[in-house]
């Protein structure tokens, strides 16, 4: 089976029901499929591969299976084949790193399972209630740990359902020194981006817009400001110090204020020219760049709902947690397609930056219905 793509989130494309002004809107959403729904966003379908790992258990502490890439344990079943003669005995499955003993791992189950049980009668384990416990990264192991009793001659078959996200062709990870290892599923929903350790390292997620022939909804739909775009994003700042974060509508995958001639986005940077503590609202129209202070502090560990709306005249309005914080005095250029983009940049050597994108969605108004 091919290794799943490291960019682990999924895309939903649908026609929403009647929206503002009684019009139909097109919406494309990025969301986390492992633990849905994510606050504002939900999905009608998933794209995952699930495999079942079957292992004949010899009841001694041991590593059983190594995850080739990020995945999530979805179910555990055990069928005793020989009850043994040592009386009652139980076992626990754990998640352990390479080089760590099975007994020193993190429990995958909420309670130990009966190793003896009834011969050829399948038991279903209860997964641990903490989502992080059942999420494995590449190289982590599922291990068997004898929890209690003496399993004299007891054996059986263990089945573990493991779920992998499939390849997502709609988004591309880029940026200076961007690495797949820095793009991980966030256990509370969405994805977490983390930079490497060099000054100005970046992690940028941007739609795939250059495939030929067109293969993604970003290429097939016109995302121009005059179509009354609405971008919604839920963001958690992981590292506020020495960090630059951008979320919004851009022409290309970059984290500059001046590269794109037309754009509208939020920025947080503790080295910002306009503010070193607050979110700022940035617009570029025909190469004229404006950055305005939103007055809203960007703090590590806080969830923020960011929204950008454009009207038929190309005016961009910025909202934070439902409150309008800025209206652009400039008019976005008609006929220019803008795409959702998010990313971060490390501003100091050896100090990795991080933030979590819980969900991001873009919609537009249809003028011909």
Residue at token pair 């400001």: 225
Q: Is the pLDDT at 21 greater than 50, yes or no? A: no
Q: What is the structure's pLDDT at 265? A: 97
The pLDDT of residue 27: 39
pLDDT in tens, 112-163: 999 888 899 999 999 999 878 998 888 999 999 999 988 878 888 888 988 8
Average pLDDT over residues 61-73: 86
CB 143 within 8 Å of CB 62: yes
| Architecture in CATH for domain 10-46+166-365 | Sandwich (2.60)
- The architecture of the domain spanning 48-165 is Sandwich (2.60)
What would the pLDDT profile of 238-297 be if each residue is shown by its tens digit?
A: 888 889 999 999 999 999 999 999 999 999 998 888 988 999 999 999 889 999 999 999
Residues 6+ apart with CB under 8 A from 25: 15, 16, 19, 230, 363, 364, 365, 366
Q: 3-class SS at 225?
A: helix
Residue 3: is its pLDDT beyond 90?
no
pLDDT at 95: 95
Indicate the domain borders of the chain.
10-46+166-365, 48-165
The residue among 308, 307, 341 whose CA lies nearest residue 207 is 341
Strand 25-31 and strand 354-365: the pairing is antiparallel
58: left (phi over 0), alpha (psi -120 to 50) or beta: beta
Return the number of other C-beta atoms located less than 10 Å from residue 19's C-beta: 16
Rounded Cα gap, residues 190 and 192, in angstroms = 7
Is residue 308 over pLDDT 70? yes
Q: Are 225 and 338 spatial neighbours (Cβ–Cβ below 8 Å)?
A: yes
pTM over 0.85: no
Token pair belonging to 26: 């097109």
| Domains 10-46+166-365 and 48-165 fall in the same CATH topology | yes
Q: Return the minimum-mean-pLDDT range out of 33-47, 108-122, 196-210, 296-310.
A: 33-47
Structure tokens at 4: 């799943």
């Amino acid at each position: 089976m091919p290794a799943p793509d490291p960019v682990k989130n999924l895309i939903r494309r649908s026609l929403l029901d009647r929206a503002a002004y009684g019009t139909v809107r097109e919406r494309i959403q990025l969301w986390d499929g492992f633990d849905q729904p994510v606050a504002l966003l939900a999905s009608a379908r998933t794209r995952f591969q699930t495999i079942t790992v079957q292992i004949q258990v010899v009841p001694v502490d041991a590593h059983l299976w190594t995850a080739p890439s990020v995945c999530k344990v979805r179910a555990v079943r055990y069928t005793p084949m020989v009850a043994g003669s040592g009386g009652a005995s139980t076992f626990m499955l754990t998640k352990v790193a390479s080089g760590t003993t099975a007994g020193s791992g993190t429990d995958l189950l909420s309670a130990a399972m009966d190793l003896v049980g009834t011969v050829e009668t399948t038991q279903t384990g209860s997964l641990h209630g903490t989502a992080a416990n059942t999420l494995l990264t590449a190289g982590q192991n599922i291990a068997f740990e004898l929890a209690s009793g003496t399993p004299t001659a007891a054996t059986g078959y263990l089945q573990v359902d493991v779920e992998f996200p499939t390849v997502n062709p709609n988004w591309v990870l880029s940026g200076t020194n961007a690495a797949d290892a820095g793009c991980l599923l966030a256990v509370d929903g969405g994805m977490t981006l983390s930079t490497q350790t060099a000054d100005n390292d970046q992690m940028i997620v941007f739609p795939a817009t250059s495939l030929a022939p067109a293969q993604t909804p970003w290429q097939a739909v016109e995302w121009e400001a005059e179509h009354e775009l609405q971008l919604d994003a839920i963001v958690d700042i992981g590292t506020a110090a020495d960090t630059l974060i951008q979320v919004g509508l851009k022409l290309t995958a970059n984290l500059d204020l001046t590269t794109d001639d037309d754009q509208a986005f939020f920025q947080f940077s503790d080295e910002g020219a306009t503010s070193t503590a607050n979110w700022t609202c940035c617009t570029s129209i025909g190469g004229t760049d404006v950055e305005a202070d939103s007055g809203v502090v960007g703090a590590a560990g806080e969830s923020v709902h960011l929204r950008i709306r454009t009207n038929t005249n190309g005016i961009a309005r910025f909202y934070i947690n439902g409150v309008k914080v800025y209206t652009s005095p400039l008019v976005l250029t008609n006929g220019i397609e803008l795409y959702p983009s998010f990313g971060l940049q490390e501003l100091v050597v050896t100090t990795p930056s991080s933030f979590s994108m819980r969900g991001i969605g873009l919609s537009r108004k249809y003028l011909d219905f």
